[in-house]
Structure 1
Amino acid sequence: MGINIFVIGLDEENQRVLERLPWAGSYEFHGLLTPEELQHGDIDFEALLKTAQHELDAFDGDVGAIASYWDFPAATLVPILCARYDLPSVSLEAVLKCEHKYWSRLEQRKVIDELPGFGIVDLDGERPSPPAGVGFPMWLKPAKSFSSELVFKAENEAEFADAVAEIRDGVGRVGEPFGYVLDQVQLPPEIADVGGAACLAEEALHGVRAAVEGYVYRGEVIVYGALDSVNYPDSSSFLRHQYPSQLGEEPVRRMWDVAERVMRQLGFDNGTFSIEFFCDPESGQVALLEINPRHSQSHAELFEFVDGVANHEIMVRLGLGQDPGRRATKGRYQIAGKWYLRRFSDGVVTRVPTPAEVAAVEERVDGTQITIVPEAGQRLSDLPEQDSYSFELAQLFIAAHTEHEMAEKYQACVDALPFEFE
């Protein structure tokens, strides 16, 4: 038997990724809470914590590590549970400084200038207004949310009012349990005043989307990869994430520099992170969008295709208190992307590609893995964790030797995947 590693929110796809790690035979991976328990419906953080602790206490064996690649509540459960079982982990306070978007901005402002104007919107006011110094166009978002849920762009006062109404109605689902976790640490007055169910307004950033992934081990910040995020034309919805970044050397270097300064300021140590940016390819300027206190499981196969080893490896090694060391760079492909096939209007799905049809496409188009999101008979607006402007039909991992070849493979897959709606 190998060392027992518990992964909060472990699902079948990521179980397979973990079991493909070169040294996976030395470990036993166990799920702790399901993705559905963590993300769907109301979130009872205390109940989740008790359930997780009960499962760990009942386990017949030693617990070697506790880790996760999900945001709240998983990212905050990890340091709490690790502290109780005396296991290596990032601190809860550092995680919260990343996850609370307003707190994170206040900390970032102490060490970098690459920030938009931002401020808190008073959701309790009779007629909420934009914060002082934040102009249109702006983005409105909960201080803590899942993915792009309840994230809206406002070009004017009317759109601002509509977005605030939507956020006010839905912010409590995540904000209230997030507030419970905030109460577990000593908060600065400005964060204690706004709490977890707050609304942040930020001036819209411009440029192309990109991200870096890295980790901190014993105070040393290591960035091991840069990725691009490409939107659908004239949309804020992602078309794909691709690794490695196709931006020039200068914006990538600047992202690395910003990441190092910010993670040190946050006191983040012994954990993985992913930081999103807007970049200007011509000037090389970068602007930080947000910090995630975990690596991205959405990128796991991308690193596996290009480097030969998924980024999950770093999560596991840090969970065991080990130095992750140098990354492998010997994958089968030169570039890989996670593509999103989307529909931009609601409807009921009357037909999805069958497993046989999906398997035939994967066999015919080399370097592809396809996951169908909705089921036949499902209304798209009932799908969980969708952004505010589109609905996912499929997720496609596609690897190639050039960006052009990868795009051609994507189109070949889409042409062969039959969906029908009414």
Structure 2
Amino acid sequence: MSVRNVFVVGLDEHNRKRLEHLRGAENYQFHGVIEPTEVYDTEIFPIEDMLARAETQLKEFSEPIDAIVGYMDFPVSTMLPLLCERFGTRSTSLESLLKCEHKYWSRLVQREVIAEYIPRFTAFDPFDVQALQHIGEAGLYFPFFVKPIKSSGSRLGFRIESPEDFSYAVARLCEGIGTISEPFNYVLEHANLPDGVRSVDGGHCMAEEIIGGWQCTVEGYVFQGDVVPYGIVDSIRYPQVLSFFSYRYPSRLPSSIQTRMQELTRQVMAHIGYDNAAFNIEYFWDEVQDRIWLLEINTRIAQSHCDLFEKVDGVSHQQVTVDLALGQLPDMPYRQGAFKVAAKFFYRVFFVDATVSKVPSIEEIETLQRAFPGTFIAVQVDVGTRLSSLPEQDSYSFALAYVWMGADDDVALEENYARLAEQLHFEFDDIVG
């Protein structure tokens, strides 16, 4: 078999190593397109310029281009259909992708088939001084949640309990929304949008009824029209706050709830017309009301889950992304990994702001990773880092480190992390509580 050339947007060395462990990787040559620093750890996305430079690089490649893939959220996810269309490689259509990523359009489409599983919602312009009144006229009252039409992680998401909360959130949204709205609007210009969606551009926001419960993510893909959910990961939050504590795989949800979520996933993704690409859907299960809520649809695998699938199933679910882009049915193993359970933990501080004065040394990190086999620790700050400068944070805390661990059961997993966390030492100056 001849070597197949797979271009990866924003490829870094950590993910190159993961990709080289995929099934069939001996027959693939992975190439980076667009430097990882342009899509990691930044909130500036000159998407038109990035697309132009990517196109130039790809046109200069003298061999066949067999696939163009990515494993990240905005701007990578929205760039892929444009690049793939220009070079004749496989991807879902731009319109089907935007029916997931444009949060207002996505809710409209979801309402057509699974209305009882989504919250009340409306779009609003954060620069409109009467925005709060319009939200009330749409039937939404305190408390509710607001976020940009094109959100990225938990950034610029706020729970609104009062007019004062709304004023604070709108000020933050007006200040920061342009970094996403301008590049997202460039993508929207290339799509065939309904009139009711085109008028709600990337500078708008969503207000939604508060939903909650046991949160999880259904990872799935569509291959030649067949929707396949293949794994469910639990998302566990710190008590009483919106910040994530860990992602855990496999899910501990009741099997009947997992089955129902898989059915809803098949129903909504088929209706959207999404095809030949990976996705994931975030859900809540309200245990008290025994009710399932669909939170949002993402048009990629969750990169945070790659190590979890590798630990439990035997290979990163980047396998799905690459196989689909090459026109192959994904060759994803099941429960062939070294661990029964795995998690990504978020080591956080709940300051308003601070400056980092001490971080664990490389030697300390390596010692901890050896003490807990299979563990990988990724420190997210350096000495001198001002926490408020960190990109892609939620509105309530700062993640100082990510810790991926595996174990034979959930009790051992949580105990091992607690022991490790006690030995991760950070110090701070200029703390704003």
Q: TM-score range, shorter-chain basis?
A: over 0.9
Residue type at the aligned position of 2:178: G
In the other structure, the counterpart of 2:110 is 108
- Kindly indicate whether residue 24 of structure 2 is the aligned counterpart of residue 5 of structure 1: no
In the other structure, the counterpart of 1:127 is 130
For residue 226 of structure 1, give the secondary structure of its aligned residue in structure 2. strand
In the other structure, the counterpart of 1:25 is 26
Q: Deviations over 1:214-264 (max 9, x none)?
A: 000010000000110000111100000011001111211111111111101
Q: 1:363 aligns with which of 360, 370, 381?
A: 370
Distance across 1 between alignment mates of 2:11 and 2:310 = 18
Distance across 2 between alignment mates of 1:364 and 1:406 = 14
Q: Deviations over 1:241-295 (max 9, x none)?
A: 0110011112111111111111011110000001001112465421000000111
For residue 80 of structure 2, give the secondary structure of its aligned residue in structure 1. helix
| Alignment check: 8 A CA contact 1:367 1:399 kept | yes
Q: 1:276 aligns with which of 271, 282, 303?
A: 282
- Kindly indicate whether residue 335 of structure 2 is the aligned counterpart of residue 334 of structure 1: no
Distance across 2 between alignment mates of 1:133 and 1:20 = 51
1:82 offset after TM fit, Å?
1.0
- Kindly indicate whether residue 118 of structure 2 is the aligned counterpart of residue 96 of structure 1: no
Distance across 1 between alignment mates of 2:365 and 2:126 = 46
1:309 offset after TM fit, Å?
1.2
**CA 1:135 to 1:349, structure 2 compared with 1: closer, same or farther past 3 Å?**
same
| Alignment check: 8 A CA contact 1:248 1:281 kept | no
Q: 2:384 aligns with which of 358, 377, 382?
A: 377
Residue type at the aligned position of 1:43: F
Question: Which aligned pairs between 1:200-219 and structure 2 lie closer than 5 A?
Answer: 200-219=206-225
Distance across 2 between alignment mates of 1:353 and 1:203 = 41
- Kindly indicate whether residue 16 of structure 2 is the aligned counterpart of residue 15 of structure 1: yes
Question: Which aligned pairs between 1:315-354 and structure 2 lie closer than 5 A?
Answer: 315-325=321-331, 327-345=333-351, 346-354=353-361
Distance across 1 between alignment mates of 2:78 and 2:69 = 10
In the other structure, the counterpart of 2:428 is 421
- Kindly indicate whether residue 73 of structure 2 is the aligned counterpart of residue 71 of structure 1: yes
Q: 1:249 aligns with which of 249, 255, 265?
A: 255
For normalisation by structure 2, the TM-score amounts to 0.95
In the other structure, the counterpart of 2:35 is 34
Q: Structure 1 stretches (4+) deviating beyond 6 angstroms?
A: none
Question: Which aligned pairs between 1:193-232 and structure 2 lie closer than 5 A?
Answer: 193-232=199-238
- Kindly indicate whether residue 418 of structure 2 is the aligned counterpart of residue 411 of structure 1: yes
Residue type at the aligned position of 1:61: E
1:191 offset after TM fit, Å?
0.8
Distance across 1 between alignment mates of 2:121 and 2:160 = 14
Residue type at the aligned position of 2:44: D
Distance across 1 between alignment mates of 2:109 and 2:26 = 41
Question: Which aligned pairs between 1:39-78 and structure 2 lie closer than 5 A?
Answer: 40-78=42-80
In the other structure, the counterpart of 1:190 is 196
For normalisation by structure 1, the TM-score amounts to 0.97
Distance across 2 between alignment mates of 1:41 and 1:193 = 25
In the other structure, the counterpart of 2:296 is 290
In the other structure, the counterpart of 1:258 is 264
For residue 338 of structure 1, give the secondary structure of its aligned residue in structure 2. strand
Q: RMSD of aligned C-alpha atoms? A: 1.4
| Alignment check: 8 A CA contact 1:144 1:196 kept | yes
Question: Which aligned pairs between 1:158-173 and structure 2 lie closer than 5 A?
Answer: 158-173=164-179
Residue type at the aligned position of 1:272: A
Gap runs ≥5 in structure 2? none
Which moves more between the two structures, 18-27 or 266-275? 18-27
Distance across 1 between alignment mates of 2:373 and 2:331 = 31
- Kindly indicate whether residue 308 of structure 2 is the aligned counterpart of residue 302 of structure 1: yes
| Alignment check: 8 A CA contact 1:70 1:294 kept | yes
1:168 offset after TM fit, Å?
1.7
1:176 offset after TM fit, Å?
1.5
Which moves more between the two structures, 284-293 or 116-125? 116-125
Residue type at the aligned position of 1:366: P
Report % sequence identity.
42
In the other structure, the counterpart of 2:121 is 118
| Alignment check: 8 A CA contact 1:103 1:191 kept | yes
Q: Deviations over 1:52-93 (max 9, x none)?
A: 101111223221100011122211211111111111111111
1:418 offset after TM fit, Å?
1.4
Distance across 2 between alignment mates of 1:5 and 1:414 = 38
For residue 348 of structure 1, give the secondary structure of its aligned residue in structure 2. strand
Gap runs ≥5 in structure 1? none
Residue type at the aligned position of 1:125: D
Distance across 2 between alignment mates of 1:9 and 1:310 = 17
Residue type at the aligned position of 2:207: A
Distance across 1 between alignment mates of 2:3 and 2:357 = 46
| Alignment check: 8 A CA contact 1:251 1:285 kept | no
Q: Deviations over 1:164-210 (max 9, x none)?
A: 12112211111121111111111111111111211100011021111
Distance across 1 between alignment mates of 2:293 and 2:37 = 34
Distance across 2 between alignment mates of 1:82 and 1:319 = 10
Distance across 1 between alignment mates of 2:63 and 2:397 = 45
Residue type at the aligned position of 1:101: K
Q: Deviations over 1:308-363 (max 9, x none)?
A: 01100010000101111553321111110000000110211111011110000010
